[in-house]
A and B are shown apart, each in its own frame.
Chain A
Amino acid sequence: MTKKRKLIVVGNGMAGCRAVEELLDLAPDRYEIEIYGAEPEVNYNRIMLSPVLAGETGFDEIVINGRGWYEENGIALRSGEEVIAIDAASRTIATDKGARSSYDRLLIATGSLPFILPVPGAALDGVIAFRDIADVRRMIATAEGGGRAVVIGGGLLGLEAANGLRTLGMQVSVIHLMDTLMERQLDEAAGFLLRRELEMRGIEVLTGAQTEEIVGTGRVEGVRLKDGRLVPADLVVMAAGIRPNIALAREAGLSCNRGIVVDDFMRSSDPAIYAVGECVEHRGQVYGLVAPIWEMCRAAGAALAEEDGEGYRGSVTSTKLKVTGVDVFSAGDFASGEDREDIVFRDAARGVYKRLVISEDRVIGAVLYGDTQDGSWYFSLLREKENIAERRETLIFGPALAGASQDPNAAVAALPDTSEICGCNGVCKGAIVNAIREKELTTLDGVRAHTKASASCGSCTGLVEKLMALTLGGTYNPAAVQPICTCTDLGHDEVRRLIKAKELKTIPAVMQELEWKTSCGCAKCRPALNYYLVCDWPDEYADDYQSRFVNERVHANIQKDGTYSVVPRMWGGMTSAKELRAIADVVDKFAIPAVKVTGGQRIDMLGIAKEDLPAVWADLGKAGFVSGHAYAKGLRTVKTCVGTDWCRFGTQDSTGLGIRIEKFMWGSWTPAKVKMAVSGCPRNCAEATCKDVGVICVDSGYEIHFAGAAGLDIRGTEKLGIVKTEDEALEHIVALVQMYREQARYLERIYKWAKRIGYDEIRRQIMDDEERRKALFGRFVFSQKFAQVDPWSERVSGKHQHEFRPMAEIGFPRAAE
């Protein structure tokens, strides 16, 4: 037998040892093997560090190969000894202990290094990475004192660290740069569910948060974010990503890109040197998971054994999050696209979200949340590129072909008995179901008569019908509801009621709980949902500007040439020399091409470039102007006449009342635009009787009108009633508008809503029911606390700068050489 050749392995980690195992299987006696490992440990299972941190298992349980394995196979293990140089010419290595050793074959398996954000304070004591058992031991030691931990990075690793530290009893915050957790693996919908679950476990999640510096003297004390917030911390875990560990290979002169470049047989640019694991780059790809690494190791083992094999061809990968009780699976490519089709299944009751991305009859991506048992099946369809055309319909239900179709009544079935179905009469689900059963009701009118549910405004009719279908089984056929859009089967009214009943407070929450059929909605449903949430949860909901139409996003009206028009408020149509002069100056300064008096008694400046908007507002703001919301689904104008101030017929101070209403109600968002007017006598010079809400002053008080229209449709107003004082007039008007805000469908004007609900019903609720009126008034006042912020001055002082400036300006490109 010839003398054994010598193989040196750099890196005693998952890849290094696995490649040796593969080699020993094929050629147990070919090499004398020496393994160097910087960690003073035997070969252990790195991916199990998360359960070790969470206290679910111990280090001994995760050892893959103990000392015995090295001895049995005659492997010399040099643990705690780092290779510091490779001399490829003389085929020798040098270590940090001053040793040298020569090889016939070298296998580099140095893995990755955690990426430490280059921010001030990153070197402070108490800032650690999450890569090896030493890190885990330090985390466990720190956690013993309780205290606060901040994890930087909301990817797989960061979340596993956060969950572990939380289990150990620390208070944990996760800081994530992107808006969606694990954005590489999850879409917005699944990211939302994950976030909700982590928050329920007491982990604080800060998304869209950029780390500015780590503060502390000597030891870490907190993390400061770019927006100025300081998150206190006794421990900071950096989980912001990993970088292939290639310094050694690069210095040895091996060809490197992001990783050490290898061919299909894991050979580097030096034929005596092989590399496997996270440190390599194969066909332009770098991997951070073990499945592809196992495939690489098989190829490397065969190559070292000098056996012919197919080599390694690259891998498709899938990921699972290892947080006990949270099932997340993701594989492939799940960006939406035109030639792609989504199949989405949501089960709100079980908190399940599944999405398959199909292209040309093949599964190309899968995201599963809450129920991942079919993950491996989808993954095999994906990897094998199987044609799924035949089983497309049932694919989402998994290999068992459960065949069940989505139940349209599921959302209602999942509601607890105590949730309110009818808002007008305060009737809960339980009461309705009981009445249907006990009184053997089979018609909607029967339910109305016995429970009062859906007997008033009728907004909850759809839900009541679903409850009937649910209780009576197949015998009841609800009337078809017009769905909001193709993303859902539910209509506007049902969605509004369910947002309240289930306390849904974000767009992803609505889409999940109401089982939306798309992953992120469309241009029809997103603005509607955004309005409903703004209206229903004024203090809690964060307005999603990307779900608003451009006018409301930039607070000006887009014109046909892409320029904008700007209309400042002129309270009640009153102005002054100072205001007019300021407008004239702005028009001159910005060379505004057109100035027009509007039908709502104010002045419109047209043809302003978007980039100029903040400067125009700044100048107008200096003269005391605020936005006129001429672009908004919100309160537009309150037109007035001069009333008792000047007019010989005037009966009341119509101008004063108009200004008071406008100052009280500006800034509020409504389902569609709201225009008002106050006339000082029945001669009605302010044309109040064709407005959404109008007031005619008379000697005995104020006549309130509503539901007029003077646009595509023309109709005179209905009379709501007459009140004696200005205060009462304001209270009634505000309550009416609030009722409209809470009940109407998005984009439905007051006159359409009123016709649908019934004028008498509205009169009853506003004029006759004092308690209800006062409650409506109170809710409006509350929501104004959050809405009455002048959007122009906010933007002048820097909010949403990105809307107004181009991201870059490019000159003429150089002519191609």
Chain B
Amino acid sequence: MASWIEIGNLSDIPPRGARCVTTPLGRIAVFRTATDDLYATEDRCPHKGGPLSQGIVHGAAVTCPLHNWVFSLETGAALGADEGSVRTFALKREGEKILMDVDLMASVAAD
């Protein structure tokens, strides 16, 4: 069962930018691409913990601000030569509103 809660509006995030949502599991980065697609990942780079929400967003990918690893926002996997991945979270959009699935988060907390 998904349970969606509202986390903000599309216009809260600049295009090709990101904002954070703080949760009991840590920070989650919510990205908006140039084409207004939305993605959410944990805000921790698997390399050395860089905050991905602070990276440059290009296409459906983000470049970590600390050492330039690049991650797919869709799958969370590192692209190119680097290996690793970040956890992604489901989002959905209803008009301007952005919603996040919190039950998924509960299951993450449990495992």
Pick the residue among B23, B63, B103 that contacts A523 (CB under 8 A).
B63
Residue in B11, B12, B59, B66 with the greatest tally of chain A CB atoms within 10 Å:
B59
Does A699 have its Cβ within 8 Å of any Cβ on chain B? Answer: no
Does A560 have its Cβ within 8 Å of any Cβ on chain B? Answer: yes
Pick the residue among B7, B59, B79, B109 that contacts A336 (CB under 8 A).
B59
In the bound complex, how far is the Cα of B30 from the Cα of A554, in angstroms? 18
Instruction: Name the residue of chain A whose CB is nearest to the CB of B19.
Output: A807
In the bound complex, how far is the Cα of B104 from the Cα of A514, in angstroms? 45
Pick the residue among B50, B56, B72 that contacts A527 (CB under 8 A).
B56
Does B102 have its Cβ within 8 Å of any Cβ on chain A? Answer: yes
Pick the residue among A180, A520, A560, A810 that contacts B48 (CB under 8 A).
A560
Chain A 559-582 per-residue mask, 1 if CB under 8 angstroms from chain B, else 0: 011100000000000000000000
In the bound complex, how far is the Cα of B22 from the Cα of A811, in angstroms? 9
In the bound complex, how far is the Cα of B54 from the Cα of A545, in angstroms? 12
In the bound complex, how far is the Cα of B33 from the Cα of A546, in angstroms? 11
Contact B60 A335 (CB under 8 A): yes
Contact B3 A813 (CB under 8 A): yes
Contact B51 A562 (CB under 8 A): yes
Known: A179-B15, A338-B74, A523-B56. A810 touches B79 (CB 8 A): no
Does A790 have its Cβ within 8 Å of any Cβ on chain B? Answer: no
Q: Which residues of B contact A551 (CB under 8 A)?
A: 65
Q: Which residues of B contact A49 (CB under 8 A)?
A: none
Q: Which residues of A contact B50 (CB under 8 A)?
A: 558, 562
Does A160 have its Cβ within 8 Å of any Cβ on chain B? Answer: no
Contact A188 B24 (CB under 8 A): no
Q: Which residues of A contact B102 (CB under 8 A)?
A: 810, 813
CB-contacts of B1-47 with A (<8 A): 1, 3, 5-8, 11-17, 19-24, 27, 30, 33-37
Contact A810 B70 (CB under 8 A): no
In the bound complex, how far is the Cα of B44 from the Cα of A560, in angstroms? 12
Closest Cβ of chain A to B98, distance in Å, is: 8
Contact B1 A808 (CB under 8 A): no
Closest Cβ of chain B to A553, distance in Å, is: 8
Known: A523-B63, A549-B56. A810 touches B106 (CB 8 A): no
Q: Which residues of B contact A335 (CB under 8 A)?
A: 33, 35, 37, 60
Contact B35 A336 (CB under 8 A): yes
Closest Cβ of chain A to B1, distance in Å, is: 6
In the bound complex, how far is the Cα of B20 from the Cα of A813, in angstroms? 18
Q: Which residues of B contact A561 (CB under 8 A)?
A: 49
In the bound complex, how far is the Cα of B109 from the Cα of A812, in angstroms? 10
Contact B66 A558 (CB under 8 A): yes
Contact B55 A550 (CB under 8 A): yes
In the bound complex, how far is the Cα of B66 from the Cα of A334, in angstroms? 30
Q: Which residues of B contact A811 (CB under 8 A)?
A: 24
Contact B36 A178 (CB under 8 A): yes
Closest Cβ of chain A to B110, distance in Å, is: 9
Chain A 798-809 per-residue mask, 1 if CB under 8 angstroms from chain B, else 0: 000010001111
Contact A337 B60 (CB under 8 A): yes
Q: Which residues of B contact A714 (CB under 8 A)?
A: none
Instruction: Name the residue of chain A whose CB is nearest to the CB of B39.
Output: A337
Closest Cβ of chain B to A204, distance in Å, is: 21
Closest Cβ of chain A to B78, distance in Å, is: 11
In the bound complex, how far is the Cα of B34 from the Cα of A518, in angstroms? 13
In the bound complex, how far is the Cα of B37 from the Cα of A519, in angstroms? 15
Pick the residue among B5, B12, B34 that contacts A520 (CB under 8 A).
B34
In the bound complex, how far is the Cα of B103 from the Cα of A519, in angstroms? 36
Q: Which residues of B contact A180 (CB under 8 A)?
A: 15, 34
Q: Which residues of A contact B79 (CB under 8 A)?
A: 338
Contact A807 B30 (CB under 8 A): yes
Contact A338 B48 (CB under 8 A): no
Pick the residue among B1, B20, B56, B109 that contacts A806 (CB under 8 A).
B20
Contact A807 B13 (CB under 8 A): yes
In the bound complex, how far is the Cα of B17 from the Cα of A806, in angstroms? 13
Contact A336 B33 (CB under 8 A): yes
Closest Cβ of chain B to A364, distance in Å, is: 13
CB-contacts of A284-340 with B (<8 A): 334-339
Contact B7 A558 (CB under 8 A): no
Known: A807-B13, A808-B8, A816-B103. A338 touches B60 (CB 8 A): yes
Instruction: Tell me how many residues of B have a C-beta within 8 Å of chain A.
Output: 54
Mostly helix, strand, loop or mixed at chain A's interface?
Answer: loop
Contact A183 B36 (CB under 8 A): yes
In the bound complex, how far is the Cα of B20 from the Cα of A802, in angstroms? 9
Pick the residue among A527, A545, A813 that contacts B105 (CB under 8 A).
A813
Does B93 have its Cβ within 8 Å of any Cβ on chain A? Answer: no
Contact A550 B54 (CB under 8 A): yes
Contact A802 B12 (CB under 8 A): yes
Contact A177 B11 (CB under 8 A): yes
Does A547 have its Cβ within 8 Å of any Cβ on chain B? Answer: yes
Contact A809 B21 (CB under 8 A): yes
Does B90 have its Cβ within 8 Å of any Cβ on chain A? Answer: no
Instruction: Name the residue of chain A whose CB is nearest to the CB of B68.
Output: A523
Contact B35 A188 (CB under 8 A): yes
Contact B70 A523 (CB under 8 A): yes
In the bound complex, how far is the Cα of B100 from the Cα of A808, in angstroms? 11
Closest Cβ of chain B to A737, distance in Å, is: 26
In the bound complex, how far is the Cα of B50 from the Cα of A522, in angstroms? 19
Closest Cβ of chain B to A225, distance in Å, is: 13
Instruction: Name the residue of chain B whose CB is nearest to the CB of A525.
Output: B58
Does A383 have its Cβ within 8 Å of any Cβ on chain B? Answer: no
In the bound complex, how far is the Cα of B11 from the Cα of A551, in angstroms? 23
Q: Which residues of A contact B48 (CB under 8 A)?
A: 560
Closest Cβ of chain A to B3, distance in Å, is: 7
In the bound complex, how far is the Cα of B72 from the Cα of A109, in angstroms? 44
Pick the residue among A546, A560, A810 that contacts B15 (CB under 8 A).
A546
Pick the residue among B23, B35, B56, B75 that contacts A338 (CB under 8 A).
B75
Contact A806 B21 (CB under 8 A): yes
Closest Cβ of chain A to B92, distance in Å, is: 13
Does A119 have its Cβ within 8 Å of any Cβ on chain B? Answer: no
Q: Which residues of A contact B72 (CB under 8 A)?
A: 337-338
Q: Which residues of B contact A188 (CB under 8 A)?
A: 34-35
In the bound complex, how far is the Cα of B18 from the Cα of A546, in angstroms? 9
Closest Cβ of chain B to A281, distance in Å, is: 15
Does B86 have its Cβ within 8 Å of any Cβ on chain A? Answer: no
Known: A810-B102, A813-B105, A816-B1. A560 touches B66 (CB 8 A): yes
In the bound complex, how far is the Cα of B65 from the Cα of A560, in angstroms? 10
In the bound complex, how far is the Cα of B109 from the Cα of A558, in angstroms? 29
Known: A522-B58, A807-B21. A546 touches B30 (CB 8 A): no
Q: Which residues of A contact B54 (CB under 8 A)?
A: 550, 553-554, 558, 562
CB-contacts of A764-817 with B (<8 A): 802, 806-813, 815-816
CB-contacts of A399-450 with B (<8 A): none
Does A521 have its Cβ within 8 Å of any Cβ on chain B? Answer: yes
Instruction: Name the residue of chain A whose CB is nearest to the CB of B27.
Output: A806
Does A513 have its Cβ within 8 Å of any Cβ on chain B? Answer: no
Q: Which residues of A contact B103 (CB under 8 A)?
A: 813, 816
Closest Cβ of chain A to B39, distance in Å, is: 10
Instruction: Name the residue of chain B whose CB is nearest to the CB of A187.
Output: B35
In the bound complex, how far is the Cα of B110 from the Cα of A812, in angstroms? 12
A–B complex contacts, Cβ < 8 Å, 6 sampled: A336-B60, A336-B61, A802-B13, A806-B22, A810-B22, A810-B24
Residues on B close to A: CB < 8 A?
Answer: 1, 3, 5-8, 11-17, 19-24, 27, 30, 33-37, 48-51, 54-61, 63, 65-66, 68, 70, 72, 74-75, 77, 79, 100, 102-103, 105-106, 109
Residues on A close to B: CB < 8 A?
Answer: 177-180, 183, 187-188, 210, 334-339, 518-523, 526-527, 545-551, 553-554, 558, 560-562, 802, 806-813, 815-816
The 7 closest A-B pairs by CB, nearest first: A336-B59, A807-B19, A338-B72, A523-B63, A550-B54, A808-B7, A546-B16
Having A336-B33, A812-B109, one finds 7 other A-B pairs with CB under 8 Å, namely: A337-B74, A338-B60, A549-B56, A549-B65, A558-B50, A558-B54, A560-B48
